[in-house]
Structure 1
Amino acid sequence: MKKHLLALLLTLIVWPLAAQQRYELNAGWLAQPIAKVPVQGPQLSQPAYPLTGWLPAVVPGTVLTTQLTNKQVPDPFFGMNNQRIPDIYRTGPGYYTYWFVRDFQEAPASGTGQVWLHLRGVNYSCEVYLNGQKLNQQTHRGMFLRQAYNITPHLAPDGRNRLAVLVYPPDPVGNPNGGQAGDGTIARNVAHQYVAGWDWIQPIRDRNTGIWDKVTIEKTGAVNLRNPHIITRVPGLRKPTGPQPPALLDVTAELENPTEKKVTGTLQYTIDGQTVRQKVTLPARATQLVRLPTLTLSNPKLWWPNGYGAQPLYASQLQFLVGKTVSDAEEVTVGVREIQREWNARTQSMQVLVNGQRIFIKGGNWIISDALLRFSDARYDAEIRFHRDMNLNLIRVWGGALVERPEFYRACDQYGLLVMQDFWMTGDANGRWVDPLKLDDQYARRQYPQDHGLFLRSAADQVKLVRNHASLAIWCGGNEITPPRDILTALQDSILPQLDGTRWFVPYSNADSMSMNTLGGGGDGPYTIQPIGRFWSQRTYPFNSEVGSVGVGDVESLERFLPAANLVPPRFTGTPARPAEQVDSVWDYHKYIGYENYLLPYGAPTDARDFGRKAQLVNYEQYRALMEGFSAHMWDWYTGSIIWKTQNPWTALRGQMYDYYLDPNACLYGLRTGSEPLHVQYNPVDSVVMLTNNGFEVQRDLMLEVDAYDMAGQKKSITQVVVEINPSMSKKYLPINGTVRQLAREKGMFLSLQLLNLSKQPVSQNLYWLPDAKGEYSGLKTMPKAALQVVAKSVETGKVEVVLTNPAGAPVAFFNRLALVNPATQKRILPVFYSDNYVSVLPGKQKTVLLDYTPTSDVPAPVVAVEGWNVVKQLVPVALK
């Protein structure tokens, strides 16, 4: 038996090509504007040409990020600094046309070895030179089209090489005249559109010209393995737990043979200890798509969206073997799941299914991680984790930006966020509406971009880039508009069926094929602050791709990008019928969206700190009500909603659950509460207590407790009842209208809802603060202080447990903001992930909050800050475990 096993292992041994590797050229770049470079590419790219006086460059990055690094321009995200940076529309494109140069060591390949240069994204056009040779015979165009060059014959004999890339801006650059995408002409390019300005961002002055994505060197044998594709099929109706019937995996890959001789070898794929193989003969100078036999995966660990199950991921590998030598290999992480959709006749909208189970979509619209394209794995991880923490299950990548990077998708795979990915169209720039700020009329804009072939080549390439990610669920032709007919036809009839074939394709983000507006609602939206009852009572699109509200942070967030002189809160100057605010000019420049008269019931803000404090109360209520209102009508009015929007890629003052610096505000935690998978909630329209169950199992043996607390902390039990709820539904239980009105009429009240299991442990908790009969929070204004006790201890490296205790007989310790801070500066450490925040503690009760952060040497012993509506700020040291 041992001899047989040894013989089997020996037959499986393969020897990798010794030089096989991939590395990134992400440091050591130099840059210079074209006007300061007296030579052309062939001479500049010679390693001996001197680069004296050249600027250290940021790659991946843009001209503007290089200028920022060299302190040539101020931070455009602070104050009015962006106005101090020359705009390309006025300077002309030559001002931001730059050379980027990188010297690197790479010896010539031996034998049949090959060396490849990959550029994953250049905006917008470029010429590429290596050691005096031009690699692209025609100018490369297109922000989203990857480039790959076989540089084997061009490597220097001594291994000293120079890469030189001349990068041109988009053409046209667009006039940033204050319209959505400025005058719209930026959309003539196959590039992102927000860079000419939008209603949530000011123009990016260089339009993000540069080598904005990764540059890598890859070394292979004679055959290069490209664009692997793994499709997972999960037949039938599945559950997240228990034994699973098999899943099926279909695998293909492109094999490129650049040599002068045919090559015979074996393509093989390995996952979870199983391998499938296919013998292949590749002609000389040929590329071939190879399909492997279907692999059956027994008892698979299935991938589920956040809130519905776990997200196990399999490591897998494709290899091409020549004999027993690996010519090339690609690692692919696989989440085993199947995405489906079906029409819901009751809601008149599509519903999403994963592994046969329908998923109620709770989503957030995403623009881009950073408006200047400063991407990092750590930032992607933090932002997607925040979305997981909001109890969301989908992110829509908006069409005015880009097909998101694989690093974004890897984080979505890890945290269970489905992705709806738009292509590069928007109704604003691409002609859905008459717009006097646009240079061209609707007919001309409906044919944008200028080069349809480039758009389609770019779309096909980006599909190949991200199609293996479990999180990718929906392709969308564009934001609020279809692409031109020939592009739309090619996408839906050839590109996506041939290169993917497993996802739902929506022609545009609010298409009738996604969601029909036939049930008496408005359209998508609303986008601004709303009476909270409207989210419960007024129907919108049954699968609403954009609905949102406000999102200003507190004063500590505002201080990061507003000069001290401009920390002046907006002042309400209108009437409820005609709301109006007087707003500081810097707030207005950062796209402030108004709170109107919604802060006044708490008392008119006295300064920026008071404004930020009261804004958080409104933030929490708005987003809790938004998701509760949609969930209350799950499968009746709605199959899903996507918030506009959950994040900002710059320092905007609207629509965000956390600020640009990754500091969360109360929007995040209100949304987190309202989006709980199993949730108890109060309908403010008809004063009914409800339960929502998003899961696949009946929830029974639960106790629903409803209590009222006055401003002094006196408790009045309203009711206690045993409840159960079936899977995937919302259900009304208790009308409490008369009781609530009576208890709240003088000073308002707190309404406590608790769902407990048989061990009296909370399954869901929710606390509402209700106004008095006049709609004022008169009781909150005079609420007595609570002596909240706070204990913090380290439970492991980077994790802190905070226990909040409110003594019996005290008032409610209301709306406490926790933060991990530097004890020397009292500034918040960012990012920190809180299991909950803006928490309230009832009299005689405790709450435990877990803080998760990455320790750094410059703050070895952070402290916990706690401050509430009626709780004096405390700084609490963290006890070591």
Structure 2
Amino acid sequence: MKISYLFFKICVLTLCCIQIAAAQNRYELNSEWYCNPIGDTKATGSELSSTDYSLEKWMPATVPGTVLTTLLNNGKVPDPFYGMNNEKIKDIYETGREHYTYWFAKDFTEKAKEGEQVWLSFRGINYSVEVFLNGQKVNAEPYKGMYLRKQFNITSFLAENGKNRLAVLVHPADHVGNPNGGQGGDGTIAKGVALQYTAGWDWIQPVRDRNTGIWDKVFIEKTGAVNLKNPHIVTLVEGVRKPGEEQDPATIKVSAELQNTLSVPVKGTLQYTLAGQTVSKTVSLKAHKTVEVDLPDFILEAPKLWWPSGYGEQNLYDMDIKFLTDGQTSDSEKVTFGVREIQTDWNAHTLSKQISVNGQKIFIKGGNWIISDAMLRFSKERYDAEIRFHRDMNLNLIRIWGGALPERPEFYEACDKYGLLVIQDFWMSGDCNGRWLDPKKKEDQWTRRQYPDDHSLFIESAKDVVKMLRNHASLAIWCGGNEITPPADIMHAIKEEILPEYDGTRWFIDYSNSDEMSYNFKGGNGDGPYGIQDISTFWAERTWPFNSEVGSVGTGDAVSLRRFLPEENQVIPIEMEGTEKVKDEVWTYHKYIDYGNSMEPYGTPRDMEDFATKAQLVNYNQYRGLMEGFTAHMWDWYTGVIIWKTQNPWTALRGQMYDYYLDPNACLYGLREGSEALHAMYDPVKGNIMIANNTFEQQHDLMLRVTAYDMDGKSKRLTQVFNYIEPASIRLIMSLQKSIQELSNEKGLFLAVQLLNVDQELVSDNFYWIPDAEGNYSGLQEMASAQLKVEATKISDSEISVTVSNSADNTVSFFNRLSLVDADTRERLLPTFFSDNYVSLVPGEEKTITVSYDKLKSTDALIEIGGWNTPTQTIEIR
């Protein structure tokens, strides 16, 4: 027994040593940074970057991160996401750029062995930097532009004793913009190659430092004489494929850039191994040259394909591409990729593009994404949670809005994992870049049309971003900009030079709502509307056939609101007539979008909690109705829709399925319901019952069951009939308008529209609440209480099974919210994922909901549940 244990310890230690050795070829500089404002720093860069210079009085810095993040983490500014705190922070437009110009310093240990090259890599700075190492300036040429990676060979700069000091002076953008309340303020923020929202937008207040800082990762990397960079993998999948089948072969095309750092030629082998086979090519590199090398095409037999969420598995392959000299690895790059092919066609019936993956057309159900965090506090874990929420909403695409940034590789890794296709905008918008007349803009349209000032920097950055992101299976489409094309020379470079040479496999949209994407038969901007709408609008009024932006409200519940609203501002928002503002300044400051009279049918809200509760009923109906209305007309009116928007990067009060703190509201679950792959639904305009099939399979022997329940819980079966439906189609089954009107006339009713498979399992369970003849939910306001029986059982270190049952003697238990809460504080544990939420149970019904929380193993948690007519209770987890 002792020998076995000793052997185990030796194996573990050996493995750890191997992993550490491998990891040291590339590691991140992400701790023990210090910073100081330039105004308080008298020393030069050469002096600061000497290890003899004391950093004792400098402030601990957050890298990667922005100046504002560092100030917040050191208690120098209040949380700008809370209340009116953002108004207490000095804006760079008023202070001048020097106020947010900072030195950052980091000590690290590194020595180059003989024949080894050491590289310093920045994945993103904002906006320009001067880099010093051990008393010497590293960047002889200016390094500026938010989206441009840079790598410096620092081998000759390293200290002989291995003790090194890196000092980086970070300057804000040359033009920070006047945050005058316009979209992007006065628009001059767009004169640089950076994100535009930081001067303010209709969903955010200005970010005071304009995101100045070493905002993305910094790496040290070690290679041999040849540095392998920007590997490129293209997968070609011919024909029409189906998930779950053994596949015909796919073609894999691989290339990489090789940089010879020596003053003499180098000969070696570029190679990778896939499916047990090695593909290689002998390469001769001239002195101090960088070349791109194509490897022979590889035919992958029986590939495991990557599919969008809801259609198939998200299979991924790992590839280690190496360059060897004399049998030794000079450098290698690991790449994870999916085997799939994106196709686009013009649908002559809808007059819009339609997207196919592996030969199968996909009805696009998407969400517009701004950015994960307005202060650029990115993490792999937060990205994973947010993309998981999008998967759980049954969406299949995310569009990255052009006023922000090219998303980080960690974002794309999550999209690869969860099966979300991505449209990546290049970083400009019609608001700042001159599409419209705008009295808030400083310069005229002709001038703004030529933003940014440095076109060559934009083009260089675009080329680099394409190289950084192109291997991700999820990246489906490039887009020139938000609601405007780039200037002609930039447009030409992207469309005719960069993409054909460095990608060439994806659809390029000139701009987000262009006629090439979706014929704009109504005129105008080709997107919207953005506010609360009558549900009938989504069903009966035709909009653009591939709508890139259409959305509604998104206020969270009272628990969410209390996180950032001071107690005195926890009030019902009352609209000021003739304006977009409400009487409370904090609600207005956080960009609240009004619900109009949509809550009145439920009864006038009594206080903020009641207001927020009723808002969730509206939220659920809005987004279920939006997606059902578009789905009801798929391939006839529409090839896709992208919701504006699914998330907020700060504590905004509009357009979100979950709040900044990753707490979902009813928008998420209404959208999840309406976006089901196989879905039975009710048309509130015509009273039709319809089935949608967003799978590639014909569905046979589906039992459609429609049941009405009155406010006492008494049921009446309206139909129960077998049906089938073709792949990727919509089918009208029948109209029940007359029956529903008669039953709902007095007090309203509940309508359960369900699909069961041949095993009598529910595959779609859709629960509507129908108003009375006056359009009010009078019956809801008089419902009797319905106590639920709830049991919670821990089934793994990250999952709980919650069984909820409603007695046959009760009425309907309506609209129950589940939460996972800390046993001591009773605060919600976030992010938590629910297989369903805001659930209703008819008399005698039982449902099981899976609750997922990654830290469950180390957390003492409870389940909390309560609903419209169901008392809140807290349940211990067995």
**TM-score per shorter chain, which class?**
over 0.9
Counterpart contact for 1:20–1:220, Cα < 8 Å:
no
State how far apart, in whole Å, the 2-side matches of 1:337 and 1:718 are: 44
Q: What amino acid is the match of 2:242?
A: K
Per-residue displacement from partner, 1:78-124 (whole Å, max 9, x unpaired)?
Answer: 000000000000000000000000000001x2222100000000000
Counterpart contact for 2:601–2:777, Cα < 8 Å:
yes
**Aligned partner of residue 416 in structure 2, secondary structure:** helix
Per-residue displacement from partner, 1:370-398 (whole Å, max 9, x unpaired)?
Answer: 00000000000000000000000000000
**Aligned partner of residue 571 in structure 1, secondary structure:** coil
State how far apart, in whole Å, the 2-side matches of 1:448 and 1:516 are: 27
Counterpart contact for 2:236–2:340, Cα < 8 Å:
yes
The answer on 1:46 being equivalent to 2:45 is: no
**Aligned partner of residue 779 in structure 2, secondary structure:** helix
Q: What amino acid is the match of 1:760?
A: Q
The answer on 1:161 being equivalent to 2:161 is: no
**Aligned partner of residue 778 in structure 1, secondary structure:** coil
Counterpart contact for 2:798–2:856, Cα < 8 Å:
no
The answer on 1:867 being equivalent to 2:866 is: yes
State how far apart, in whole Å, the 2-side matches of 1:521 and 1:800 are: 49
State how far apart, in whole Å, the 1-side matches of 2:23 and 2:206 are: 45
Cα 1:531–1:222 shift into 2, 3 Å = same
Cα 1:354–1:342 shift into 2, 3 Å = same
Q: Which residue is 1:491 aligned to?
A: 494
Q: Which residue is 1:805 aligned to?
A: 805
Alpha-carbon shift at residue 565 of structure 1 (Å): 0.5
Q: Which residue is 1:476 aligned to?
A: 479
Counterpart contact for 2:265–2:284, Cα < 8 Å:
yes
Q: What pairs up with 1:560-709 in 2 under 5 angstroms?
A: 560-571=563-574, 582-709=582-709
Q: What pairs up with 1:203-602 in 2 under 5 angstroms?
A: 203-518=206-521, 523-571=526-574, 582-602=582-602
Alpha-carbon shift at residue 518 of structure 1 (Å): 2.5
Cα 1:521–1:202 shift into 2, 3 Å = closer
Alpha-carbon shift at residue 629 of structure 1 (Å): 0.4
State how far apart, in whole Å, the 2-side matches of 1:208 and 1:520 are: 36
Alpha-carbon shift at residue 571 of structure 1 (Å): 3.2
Q: What amino acid is the match of 1:435?
A: D
**Aligned partner of residue 240 in structure 1, secondary structure:** coil
Alpha-carbon shift at residue 642 of structure 1 (Å): 0.3
The answer on 1:788 being equivalent to 2:788 is: yes
Cα 1:521–1:781 shift into 2, 3 Å = farther
**Aligned partner of residue 791 in structure 2, secondary structure:** strand
State how far apart, in whole Å, the 2-side matches of 1:174 and 1:520 are: 31
Q: Which residue is 2:15 aligned to?
A: none
Cα 1:842–1:308 shift into 2, 3 Å = same
Cα 1:535–1:636 shift into 2, 3 Å = same
**Aligned partner of residue 458 in structure 2, secondary structure:** helix
Q: Which residue is 1:4 aligned to?
A: none
State how far apart, in whole Å, the 1-side matches of 2:198 and 2:750 are: 46
Q: Which shows bigger deviation, 662-671 or 271-280?
A: 271-280
Q: Which residue is 1:5 aligned to?
A: none
Q: Which residue is 2:198 aligned to?
A: 195
State how far apart, in whole Å, the 2-side matches of 1:271 and 1:824 are: 51
**Aligned partner of residue 241 in structure 1, secondary structure:** coil
**Aligned partner of residue 629 in structure 1, secondary structure:** helix
Q: Which residue is 1:9 aligned to?
A: none
Alpha-carbon shift at residue 20 of structure 1 (Å): 6.2
Counterpart contact for 2:386–2:662, Cα < 8 Å:
yes
TM-score, normalised via structure 2 length: 0.97
Per-residue displacement from partner, 1:822-844 (whole Å, max 9, x unpaired)?
Answer: 12221100000000000001111
Alpha-carbon shift at residue 855 of structure 1 (Å): 2.0
Q: What pairs up with 1:4-19 in 2 under 5 angstroms?
A: none
Per-residue displacement from partner, 1:234-268 (whole Å, max 9, x unpaired)?
Answer: 01100011110000011000000111221110000
Alpha-carbon shift at residue 52 of structure 1 (Å): 2.1
State how far apart, in whole Å, the 2-side matches of 1:349 and 1:215 are: 42
Alpha-carbon shift at residue 153 of structure 1 (Å): 0.6
Q: Which residue is 1:10 aligned to?
A: none
State how far apart, in whole Å, the 1-side matches of 2:539 and 2:275 are: 47
Per-residue displacement from partner, 1:694-726 (whole Å, max 9, x unpaired)?
Answer: 111110111111110000000011111111100
Counterpart contact for 2:272–2:322, Cα < 8 Å:
yes
Q: What amino acid is the match of 1:810?
A: N
Identity of aligned residues (%): 61
Counterpart contact for 1:19–1:219, Cα < 8 Å:
no
Counterpart contact for 1:509–1:545, Cα < 8 Å:
yes
> Structure 1: which 5+ residue stretches go unaligned?
1-13
Q: What amino acid is the match of 2:225?
A: A
Q: What pairs up with 1:114-129 in 2 under 5 angstroms?
A: 114-129=117-132
**Aligned partner of residue 796 in structure 1, secondary structure:** coil
Alpha-carbon shift at residue 137 of structure 1 (Å): 1.1
State how far apart, in whole Å, the 2-side matches of 1:117 and 1:42 are: 17
Q: What pairs up with 1:719-738 in 2 under 5 angstroms?
A: 719-738=719-738
Q: What amino acid is the match of 1:35?
A: G
State how far apart, in whole Å, the 2-side matches of 1:84 and 1:15 are: 47
Counterpart contact for 1:265–1:279, Cα < 8 Å:
yes
| CA-based RMSD | 1.6
Counterpart contact for 1:302–1:311, Cα < 8 Å:
yes
State how far apart, in whole Å, the 2-side matches of 1:272 and 1:398 are: 38
Cα 1:866–1:15 shift into 2, 3 Å = closer
TM-score, normalised via structure 1 length: 0.96
Counterpart contact for 1:692–1:731, Cα < 8 Å:
yes
Counterpart contact for 2:797–2:856, Cα < 8 Å:
no
State how far apart, in whole Å, the 1-side matches of 2:560 and 2:619 are: 14
State how far apart, in whole Å, the 2-side matches of 1:730 and 1:759 are: 23
Counterpart contact for 1:142–1:190, Cα < 8 Å:
yes
Alpha-carbon shift at residue 580 of structure 1 (Å): 8.1
State how far apart, in whole Å, the 1-side matches of 2:274 and 2:220 are: 26
Per-residue displacement from partner, 1:327-363 (whole Å, max 9, x unpaired)?
Answer: 1010000100000100000000000010001000000
State how far apart, in whole Å, the 2-side matches of 1:797 and 1:438 are: 54
Counterpart contact for 1:115–1:151, Cα < 8 Å:
yes
State how far apart, in whole Å, the 2-side matches of 1:756 and 1:36 are: 70
Q: Which residue is 1:771 aligned to?
A: 771
Q: What amino acid is the match of 1:155?
A: L
> Which of 4, 21, 27 is matched with 1:23 structurally?
27
**Aligned partner of residue 717 in structure 1, secondary structure:** strand
Q: Which residue is 2:59 aligned to?
A: 55
State how far apart, in whole Å, the 2-side matches of 1:160 and 1:196 are: 41
State how far apart, in whole Å, the 2-side matches of 1:615 and 1:15 are: 51
Per-residue displacement from partner, 1:762-809 (whole Å, max 9, x unpaired)?
Answer: 111101000000000000001001121111010111100000101113
Per-residue displacement from partner, 1:104-155 (whole Å, max 9, x unpaired)?
Answer: 0001x22221000000000001100111111111221100011100001110
Counterpart contact for 1:580–1:596, Cα < 8 Å:
no
Cα 1:46–1:697 shift into 2, 3 Å = same
Counterpart contact for 1:121–1:212, Cα < 8 Å:
yes
State how far apart, in whole Å, the 2-side matches of 1:64 and 1:580 are: 30
Q: What pairs up with 1:83-122 in 2 under 5 angstroms?
A: 83-107=87-111, 109-122=112-125
Counterpart contact for 1:16–1:327, Cα < 8 Å:
no
Cα 1:573–1:461 shift into 2, 3 Å = closer
State how far apart, in whole Å, the 2-side matches of 1:827 and 1:19 are: 39
Alpha-carbon shift at residue 521 of structure 1 (Å): 10
**Aligned partner of residue 689 in structure 1, secondary structure:** strand
Alpha-carbon shift at residue 810 of structure 1 (Å): 1.4
